[in-house]
Structure 1
Amino acid sequence: MKPTTNEEFYAGLHLLPRPHYPFPDFTHPELQKQRQEYYQWIDEEYAFQSKEAREKHKSHHLTDIAAKGCPFLKNIAELRPLANYTANGAMMDDYFDRCSRDEMYRIMAQVIALLSGENSEEPSENGIFHLFWVLRQDALNCGIPQSIYRRFIKSIQDVLIGYSEEKTYYRANIVPPLPVYLLIREATSGVLPYCDYAVLQKEYRQLPDEIFEHPHIRRIYSLCSLMIGIHNDIISLPKEIHRDGDTMNLVKVLQKEYTLSLHDAYMKALEIHDQYLKEFLVLRDHLPPFGKWQNEVYNYIQDLGIMIAGVYVWHTNDTSRYVNGGYVEGEFPG
């Protein structure tokens, strides 16, 4: 049988199987209102970027991810900090796309100082750092419990560490080895903060802190992060295959790791994703004994599944960000 060429692969990409999740899909009722605030953030906080970049950001509707991922937050006040993290985190990742590893670590230190309150002074100018300062004020205003907020900020720090470490591969246009990819992608998928923030839904904030540190739960967090990272890679492949420097994509990694065709690497990526989904469901259905909290923990894990499905719906509905030419080029002058 003749191997499939890249051109043939792309011609038939829409016919290939995609991830599928056995979870229902929900949307936060304040999605549209949060989207309007998102437009305002771009106009006011991202005025330093070109008009073309700002208009592309607006078309990406990044705060919809928060509304799909955590649809059971009580109100827009609780949705706002997560939407801020999601949109500002993605837009700053675009802006700093071609900065160095060391530059990204310095940026991370500034961001975490603002989010933690170590630096409580409001930045004098609008922009990325000011928007992170706003996130903390919004979190304080809606009364997020300190233990949950601390875990949320620690997870954001882990995301930014991932952003920093991937720069080594991006700048050199090198595809990383599979173990390195998995380690970095678990962070850069941006999902760990979602797992922490989802605790604010329903009555999960009453669960004891030690439950969230249990190795069983931590593994579930890793699986959430990897599944979303992989399905993002699958959806963004048409964009990233044509663009130098976009080396942190599982299909590219598997192509190099196992000397596979593009089609076979795609199918292998989907197989790995589905193995993670199977593991997630096994861990959900075989929780350790958490006593009186057993049902609440099960429901929380089920809502993490809803989070995964919601983010996937956003990804599959997107027609502006994950297409060739839809990305925002990094404008950081460093």
Structure 2
Amino acid sequence: MASQKIYLPETTKQWPWPRLLHPSYEKVSAESNTWFQGFKPFNKKSQYAFDKCDFGRLASLAYPRASREHLRAGCDLMNCFFVIDEYTDVESEAVVREMIDIVIDALRNPHKSRPEGEVVLGEIVRQFWALTLKAASESSARHFLDSFIDYLESVVEQAKDRESPTSLTIEGYRKMRRRNIGIRPSFMPAELHLDIPDEVFYHPSIQNLQWNIAELIFLDNDMFSYNKEQATGDDCHNILTIAMREFNLDLDGAMVWLYDHHAKIQAEFLAGLQEVPSFGLEIDEQVRDYIWSMGIWPRSNDSWSFECGRYFGSKGLEIQRTRYVPLLPKVGRDMTLKRENVNVLLVEL
């Protein structure tokens, strides 16, 4: 008989960054949520489930040192990421391509009115980026556009992969998922006050650190989301499912593999810190600030995953302590529900 509980290994136990929460979390998160809800992107039931995810908390954990306006950019960005995720997850590659083209156009033209009747993603992203630009250095805006558009293109690739999920391999999935998790553009709110030259920002030592953090985040996200995804039959695009198939493992064995791989990537990141060269006193100080903002993300993501209701409902803190989560029963997901009527799953353990 299959296990009725899933064990979650404590992947970030030895991670040297502490849990911190921005003191303006409640006020700024509320402002962002009010702005976002004004678009009416979901029906009442799905908006309730979306709000339970508390994306403002994620931003407040990830940017604990940010100014108030930069925290607002972070809260808005998290709402943008997850509404794009919900809208595109249920669509074909062709429709996702159309949606992503709209979002990219909104990013490139933040002061241009969006066409009447267009999917709401365009206006949400346009307003987010128009406001954020007011508080952004030129270099941080340029770096964000580069990484966010790369993330958006990976969303289209993910839609294509959904149509032939059994073709995914561990290495192919890692390459795609490091882009698709969206962590590289998520460093933007912590970079807004910095002015890091391109030759420094794109130095291989800095880029390798970014990819390491992206991998740590997607490994943890796949671990935490697996229960919900297996319940809805949406677990094909999850590294645990791919590891079980590729290495002929059961779920417990795949969790051991994930834990070991996570530890390997952690070690690569920490070793990589020593590979960053000096770029001069003034730039080095900014680089240290930026690297610190990268390093706090695995801790912030781990803390948020248990403190919000996205993965474990109201029992997150208990599960964080015991590391055991009850296996959710299989539930059908109506894939005909699109856009504002998309079904955002409310987890109740």
* Shared fold per TM-score greater than 0.5: yes
Please give the secondary structure, in 1, of the residue aligned with 2:97: helix
Counterpart for residue 198 of structure 2: 209
Assess, with a 3 A threshold, how the Cα gap between structure 1 residues 329 and 197 changes in structure 2: closer, same or farther: farther
**1:46-57 equivalent positions in 2, closer than 5 A:** 46-47=40-41, 49-57=42-50
Counterpart for residue 318 of structure 2: none
Deviation at 1:146, TM superposition (A): 2.2
**1:143-154 equivalent positions in 2, closer than 5 A:** 144-154=136-146
* 1:244 matches 2:238: no
Greater shift in the superposed pair: 227-236 or 172-181: 172-181
| Residue of structure 1 aligned with 2:174, choices 171, 182, 191 | 182
Taking structure 2 as the reference length, the TM-score comes to 0.83
Counterpart for residue 211 of structure 2: 222
Please give the secondary structure, in 2, of the residue aligned with 1:24: coil
| Aligned counterparts of 2:255 and 2:334: Cα–Cα separation in 1 | 26
Deviation at 1:123, TM superposition (A): 5.1
Counterpart for residue 106 of structure 1: 98
Counterpart for residue 234 of structure 1: 223
Please give the secondary structure, in 1, of the residue aligned with 2:17: coil
Letter of the aligned partner of 1:332 in structure 2? K
Deviation at 1:208, TM superposition (A): 2.5
Give CA deviations for 1:2-28 in whole Å, capped at 9, x if unaligned. xxx641xx42515x4443321112122
Deviation at 1:181, TM superposition (A): 0.6
* 1:79 matches 2:71: yes
Deviation at 1:235, TM superposition (A): 1.2
- Do 1:34 and 1:80's aligned partners in 2 also have CA atoms closer than 8 Å? yes
Deviation at 1:118, TM superposition (A): 7.0
Counterpart for residue 262 of structure 1: 251
**1:84-99 equivalent positions in 2, closer than 5 A:** 84-99=76-91
| Aligned counterparts of 1:92 and 1:150: Cα–Cα separation in 2 | 21
Counterpart for residue 302 of structure 1: 292
Letter of the aligned partner of 2:19 in structure 1? D
Assess, with a 3 A threshold, how the Cα gap between structure 1 residues 180 and 59 changes in structure 2: closer, same or farther: same
- Do 1:111 and 1:132's aligned partners in 2 also have CA atoms closer than 8 Å? yes
Assess, with a 3 A threshold, how the Cα gap between structure 1 residues 173 and 243 changes in structure 2: closer, same or farther: farther
| Aligned counterparts of 1:183 and 1:236: Cα–Cα separation in 2 | 19
Letter of the aligned partner of 2:175 in structure 1? L
Letter of the aligned partner of 2:153 in structure 1? I
| Aligned counterparts of 1:329 and 1:150: Cα–Cα separation in 2 | 39
Q: CA RMSD in A?
A: 2.7
* 1:169 matches 2:164: no
Deviation at 1:173, TM superposition (A): 4.8
Please give the secondary structure, in 1, of the residue aligned with 2:199: helix
Counterpart for residue 322 of structure 2: none
Counterpart for residue 31 of structure 1: 25
| Aligned counterparts of 1:253 and 1:106: Cα–Cα separation in 2 | 28
- Do 1:177 and 1:253's aligned partners in 2 also have CA atoms closer than 8 Å? yes
**1:132-147 equivalent positions in 2, closer than 5 A:** 132-142=125-135, 144-147=136-139
Deviation at 1:132, TM superposition (A): 0.8
Counterpart for residue 281 of structure 1: 270
Counterpart for residue 148 of structure 2: 156
- Do 1:224 and 1:308's aligned partners in 2 also have CA atoms closer than 8 Å? yes
- Do 2:306 and 2:312's aligned partners in 1 also have CA atoms closer than 8 Å? no
- Do 2:139 and 2:196's aligned partners in 1 also have CA atoms closer than 8 Å? no
Counterpart for residue 40 of structure 1: 34
Greater shift in the superposed pair: 33-42 or 128-137: 33-42
- Do 1:155 and 1:192's aligned partners in 2 also have CA atoms closer than 8 Å? yes
Deviation at 1:192, TM superposition (A): 0.8
Deviation at 1:256, TM superposition (A): 0.9
Aligned length: 321
Identity %: 21
Deviation at 1:314, TM superposition (A): 0.6
| Aligned counterparts of 1:29 and 1:251: Cα–Cα separation in 2 | 36
Counterpart for residue 325 of structure 2: none
Greater shift in the superposed pair: 168-177 or 108-117: 168-177
- Do 1:42 and 1:58's aligned partners in 2 also have CA atoms closer than 8 Å? no
- Do 2:62 and 2:293's aligned partners in 1 also have CA atoms closer than 8 Å? no
| Aligned counterparts of 1:68 and 1:134: Cα–Cα separation in 2 | 23
* 1:313 matches 2:303: yes
- Do 1:223 and 1:280's aligned partners in 2 also have CA atoms closer than 8 Å? yes
Taking structure 1 as the reference length, the TM-score comes to 0.87
Please give the secondary structure, in 2, of the residue aligned with 1:41: helix
| Residue of structure 2 aligned with 1:332, choices 314, 317, 338 | 338
**Mind listing any 5+ residue stretches in structure 2 that lack a counterpart?**
314-327, 343-349
Assess, with a 3 A threshold, how the Cα gap between structure 1 residues 322 and 155 changes in structure 2: closer, same or farther: farther
**Mind listing any 5+ residue stretches in structure 1 that lack a counterpart?**
none
